[in-house]
Amino acid sequence: MRRAAHYLSVGGVALAVVVLSAYHARRIAVPAYSVTGTSRFTWMIGYIFLISLATYAVGLPDQPRNKRQAAWLALLATAFGALGISMVQLLTGDALLPRFVVFGAALLNVPIQVAINTLSRQGYSRDEGRDRVLLVASDAERERLVDDLRLEPEHGASLVGWLTTDDVVSRLPDREAIIEMQRASRATLVVLDHEAQAKEAVISQIAQLHESGVRVRTLVAFYEHWLGKLPLDELERTSLFFDIGEVHGSRYGRIKRITDIGFAVFGLMVLAIATPFVALGNLIANRGSLLYRQSRVGKGGESFTILKFRTMVQGNPRNVRQSEALATSYGEWTSENDPRITPFGRLLRRSHLDELPQMINILMGDLSIVGPRPEQPHYVKELSEKLAFYNLRHLVQPGLTGWAQVKYGYAGDESDALEKLQYEFFYLQKQNLTFDLRIIVRTLRSTVGGRGIGR
């Protein structure tokens, strides 16, 4: 239902723009003209893309929880789309699209998106289109999978049954436990851990289910394709020997760097506009230095200084618990609700304005737009000693945002770091420009939707 809602969203926007354009061309314009026979057709397609992208970026059609929220987000998206095409028309000095089409489509998009959001929420609540998973795995694997499915709103799967390998073997030869549970639960997908894959009693039943049309996946494949992560404890060392776009694809690296520079130049203009307002807010509610500098580990294990607007208290640590400098010295993890974050700093973090100075890091080549988030040196030393393959994340340029940030969020301790590492390895395996764009759009959705992303 979720994917269908996205198709309906784009289709609704396209229908509104096309119908209004055709009506204007035949009924309003003097003289009448052909929509497909002019340059306006190209701009019409561009306008459809712009509104659709803005609509997706704000979280529509699936994220709003009610009609009011959907309406406000639709208004925001259409305002952005109308403003965007109007700015292009202003810069080119040409009326690329009639105002009737620009503002008419913007207004129609609101009820269209509200209706699709309502249908999406109804379909999602009934579990339509979701894979019904029967898991054959250990207790520990089941608990881990239950937690992961609960944390993932877009996984498109629900656990409807579970058996251990011992359950399957102990019921033979009288009962075929996997087949019985699949029929009882109406599972559409059976997932096996490494132990289950090695048991003939399991495989013989799985073969029968596979022949009858039930899909079968290993636990590693399920995590990769449904949850977007690589479970480290399920992987053999050789499974990590995959091509990495930034390392093994020179063309990808060059294009990504050019994109980074363009993004940084635009971001620096935003930084120039935002800095006076942040400085004023700092003066009123967060007195102290404007910028915060901290050492981070980048590509190849090289350290660099990352820049941010300061968001935490600064002063005598006896009076304000610990300053950020002390947090670095003593190796404290920063949590999302860290008491050292000031009210104004919390606003900066939620809006991600505190990250704007990192445009300088991107321009200098320390950071990329997308990549694993860089960590502090003492964390890297600590985690590399405890987590297998941890330093592989330093094969690529660290990023302003990343797959682990949009999928998992904050890392407050070592267990969180392990979870994020699994998403980072998935990114290393799938690294390409399309995936980078997907991460950027998801970051925008998280930021505009007010949910925030991890750091």
Cis peptide before 173 (omega within 30 of 0): yes
CA distances from 161 to 146, 178, 198, 205 (A): 11, 10, 20, 16
Q: Going from the N-terminus, what domains does the chain have, and what CATH number goes with each?
A: 2-125 (no CATH), 131-227 (3.40.50.2300), 245-448 (no CATH)
pLDDT tens digit at each of 455 positions of the chain: 677 888 899 999 999 999 999 999 999 998 898 888 777 888 899 999 999 988 988 888 877 778 888 999 999 898 888 888 888 888 777 777 899 999 999 999 999 999 998 887 776 554 556 789 999 999 999 999 998 888 775 667 899 999 999 999 888 877 899 999 999 999 999 999 989 999 999 999 999 999 999 999 999 999 999 999 988 776 655 566 778 877 777 789 999 999 999 999 999 999 999 999 999 999 998 888 999 999 999 999 999 999 999 999 875 444 444 444 444 444 456 666 778 889 999 999 888 899 999 999 999 999 999 999 999 999 999 999 988 789 989 999 999 999 999 988 777 788 888 889 999 999 998 999 999 999 998 888 877 765 556 66
Greatest distance between any 2 Cα atoms in the chain: 83
Query: What value does the CA radius of gyration of the chain take, rounded to a whole number of Å?
Result: 26
Predicted TM-score (pTM) of this structure: 0.78
pLDDT number for residue 81: 87
Question: Which H or E run contains 216?
Answer: strand 215-218
Count CB-CB contacts under 10 A for residue 270: 12
pLDDT number for residue 319: 42
**Of 82, 78, 158, the residue nearest 113 (C-alpha):** 78
CA distances from 338 to 80, 240, 288, 325, 332 (A): 34, 35, 18, 14, 10
Cβ partners under 8 Å of residue 123, min gap 6: 1, 4, 5, 129
Distance CA(275)–CA(116), nearest Å, equals 39
pLDDT number for residue 218: 93
